[in-house]
Structure 1
Amino acid sequence: MDEKSRRPARPVLWTVGLAVAAAVAYLAFLGWDREKDLDPVTGAETGPYEAWQVVGLALVVGALAFLAGRKHQVVAALAAIPVVLTLAFVVTAVTGPEPGLWPIGAALMALGSAAGTAVMALIGRSTANRFPR
């Protein structure tokens, strides 16, 4: 098989791989935590996520987007990461105890993850152009 006949599959493989990796990261960091925390002093309810969970997910998907950009797969990153994160959020929110405001959260997740993915993928692409292997 020559190089030209294998090329079209590469973006598809990147998209699928990034989608699977983003789903696993979401489940690892956020998918298991469903309970809100109650502050005994103030009575305020927080959560269900701790800051470290959100930061951890952001670091992992940011690294995925950077790597994809470095390999010139910016479109694959934008097609996979924000879509999977938004879908995972929607499923988690709709099946949770208080599903009322999920459309707002989904819109914020879609916009935020798309913006973050774009920034990190473009940074990765620019470093690939400046520092080729």
Structure 2
Amino acid sequence: MATLVPAVVASAAWAAWLGWDQHRDVQPDGTTTGPYEAWQVIGLVLTLLVPVYWAASRHQVAGAVLGTTVGLTAAAWYDWSDDSSGLFVVGVGMVMVGSLVLTAAVSAVISALKQDGR
């Protein structure tokens, strides 16, 4: 349960925050940005703090880390797999490693603070 909840929330949060924005913005000088804006990624991260806190505060650090990582990695793979260049695999790998490292750090801090009774 501590792995399933973060995984489902991570996938749903990806769809809610990032899944609908698929176009790149063309700037007046011809450069392109996107498809995501900073506020979308920040919203995703803040949303994911809820299930990570839920699992880590119950000392289910592995569930928080693995669930969030699997959910984000699966969502990124699904969202980006239509890229014909194949470079989406690099991006998915970056999502996987980044979410694994950051979720592990945040979960460890939450678990340690909850162990101290705070």
TM-score (norm 2): 0.91
1:115 aligns with 2:101: yes
1:99 and 1:64 map into 2 onto residues whose CA distance is 34
The structure whose Rg is larger is 1
**Equivalent residues in 2 for 1:1-133 (5 A)?**
13-40=1-28, 42-96=29-83, 99-131=85-117
Deviation for aligned residue 1:60: 1.7
TM-score (norm 1): 0.82
Deviation for aligned residue 1:70: 1.1
Deviation for aligned residue 1:82: 0.6
Number of aligned positions between the proteins: 118
Moved over 4 A (4+): none
| Structure richer in helix, relative to its length | 1
Q: Which amino acid aligns with 1:31?
A: G
Asked if structure 2 preserves the Cα contact closer than 8 Å seen for 1:18 and 1:80, the reply is yes
When structure 1 is superposed on structure 2, of 62-71 and 99-108 the one drifting more is: 62-71
Matched position secondary structure for 1:124? helix
How large is the Cα RMSD of the aligned pairs? 1.5
Unaligned stretches of 5+ residues in structure 2: none
Asked if structure 2 preserves the Cα contact closer than 8 Å seen for 1:94 and 1:102, the reply is yes
